Amino acid sequence: MLIVFISTIFVIVLSVALHYEVLTHLAETHFKRSWPSRLLLPFGVLAVILAHVIEIWIFGFLYYFLLSLGNVGDVIGEFNYTIKDCAYFSFANYTSLGYGDIVPVGDIRFTAGSEALVGLVLIAWTASFTYLQMQQLVANKKNNK
């Protein structure tokens, strides 16, 4: 259980740090550009979606690593222990979609539950960030008229 706990905490910190850096970069550079707001927001949203996908793959690699150890639990269902299956499982957890076709058992449930919480928080963070940036873009547009 200790390896699951430590590696999960490490990946959580890595994901939050990556998300922070992406949002900070967007706020400090991207949204300061003189592009039309119709371009700024979509490119900003694409950048954040890419960050989410990277974070999901980081968790996917963690599942792949943990399951290769063999003593941290298992995944029941249509699961072949490939990196693609681990990424799919990670997408389902991160987005809290949980199709139910793959179910974790054993210690790895801690990672799966933690990823769902991280995904919820980071998606909410992205939504509030996007809302605030859009609000600023609209305010700037009104002030420039």
Per-residue pLDDT, 70: 87
Average of pLDDT values for 35-58?
A: 91
Phi/psi for 74 (5° steps) reads: -150, 175
Per-residue pLDDT, 39: 84
pLDDT one-digit tens code per residue, 94-133 = 998 887 889 999 999 999 999 999 999 999 999 999 999 8
Q: Where are the beta strands (DSSP E) in 70-140?
A: 74-77, 102-105
Positive/negative CA dihedral, 110, 8, 50, 25:
positive
Per-residue pLDDT, 67: 95
Radius of gyration of the chain (CA): 18
pLDDT band of residue 145 (cuts 50, 70, 90) is low
CA distances from 18 to 8, 11, 70, 78 (A): 15, 10, 29, 31
Per-residue pLDDT, 34: 81
- Tell me the whole-structure pTM to 2 decimals: 0.91
Average of pLDDT values for 61-69?
A: 96
pLDDT one-digit tens code per residue, 7-42 = 999 999 999 999 999 999 999 998 888 887 788 888
Of the CA atoms within 13 Å of residue 100, those in its CB half-sphere come to 0
- Judge whether 119 and 16 are in contact, CB under 8 Å: no
The angle, 0 to 180 degrees and rounded to 10, between the axes of the packed helices 108-143 and 37-69 is: 170
Domains of the chain are: 2-16+43-137 (1.10.287.70)
